[in-house]
Structure 1
Amino acid sequence: MRYSQIRAFHHVAVEGGFSRAAEALSLTQPAISEQVRKLESDYDVLLFNRNKKRVSLTPVGERLLICTKQLFEVENQITDVLSENRAAMEGTLRIIADSAFHLTSRLEAYRKRYPKVFISVRTGNSAEIIEALRNYDAEIGVVGSPNPGPDMEVRGLGQAPIIAFAAKKFFPEFPEKLTLEEIARYPLIFREKGSKTRQKLEDEAVRMGVNLSPAVEVEGREAVQEVVAAGAGIGFVSEAEFGYDVRLAKIAIADTNLSMSESLICLKQRSEVRSIRAFMAILAT
């Protein structure tokens, strides 16, 4: 295989089309198409499904894209090593978190040190976060698990108890605490499957012989908060992430010691990428 063929494939996959890849590489579309065609021919594989309007990756193409992401990241690391002493850090840092609460102070510190780095933040549950890191679709994760996997580098962010919460108008007299069995009598608002908070609650309910089932399932913590604030039922969250909302009040769960450990994570094999290393180091300063 030739470097030019791999580079052409990578840019078509990342840019989502041959014409955009040609523009990104300052080449003609026929030149890009020929490089990809030759790569497919040499290895007797189909990397893209082609139609008139768009291209999409085949399963082999999806696997190859993960490899080329690694390849070109190593290339960028080499450039970083050679230029680190003279160049201000630039580029993009993609963060996926189960809650933005744990990021606020660290984002501020990082932005002050590296103002030329563009930061994007999106939310997801623990399963989505780990998948995104492993697929090179994000650089940094914040996840509700102290042990996300042996391939992850982990920095602990502390732990907090899991609490219930409800709209202040939900109860005639708002309780400070309820048992899990008492909570189960009310309509419950759960996050989607894959949420560590939900998993811990369901496991504890099974252990205690309590039937804990959702009346409403909502994707994302912020969406749960809005549904609960409307008076639809009781939700659950780590106390550290409860924040402040004048519409809501928290309820201690009287008969459990459930807690959430939040961790800052990245792939070990990417831990020396300059932008990732710098963000992980924020915890040590």
Structure 2
Amino acid sequence: MTADRASVDPAPIRIDLNADLGEGVGDDEAMLTIVTSANIACGFHAGTPADLLATCRAAVSAGVRIGAQVSYPDRAGFGRRFMEMSTPDLIADLVYQIGALDALARSVGGTVTYVKPHGALYNTVVHHDQQADAVVAAIRDVNPGLAVMGLPNSVVLARAERAGLPIITEAFADRAYTPAGTLVPRTEQGAVLSDSTEIARRVVEMTTTGRLTAIDGTVVGVAADSICLHGDTPGAVGHARAVREALARAGIEVARSRS
């Protein structure tokens, strides 16, 4: 009887938790005890080589997967300002960033396994064909085994799949969504959520149902392999702990995505 029941029991729900680290603005040490993937800055929007090396070392020690968080060359704007860039220039900048972070990671026993665009670049390649193609080309040229992390239904993930790259679909714990399933711009009121209980509830909802409520009250689909817990927002560690505890109570396994 036990064997028969076990044969039909559904597999446990599992979700990857990621955070933006190495930016010099959050408590990376604490976040690395909570997340399973670390999107480590590559120096173009934040982070010094020494900081990035230390973050890679800490991630390896914590058993956390390392991803390269690539961005526009915009330290003054923290990578949150759109930039028009030619395809060759953008590819070169991205190859440089991925390669540099991977060298740092390898020096401490790790390796870069995925790439996630940061800030304005992340939002741009949701819909911008030319820059999405440049992102995919750069990742493919460095290592076609690297996964690409991004929003479901984005241009960059569609192009990545077409190029044969693994993809990781992502949702955000503390960001409001538009009815179209994209992120509400940070310049708009209500774009960033601040209540730990509500953030944790939303993460459990999107993980178990693949849906959440958009800023206008409509329900949108947000099927995701990984949930981003921003490390640079006020109360970030408290939010992250609340999410991890809520997932545990719901019986959801927190583990690296399989991509």
TM-score relative to the length of structure 1: 0.21
Comparing both structures, which one devotes a greater share of its residues to helix? 1
Which of 1 and 2 has greater Rg?
1
TM-score relative to the length of structure 2: 0.22
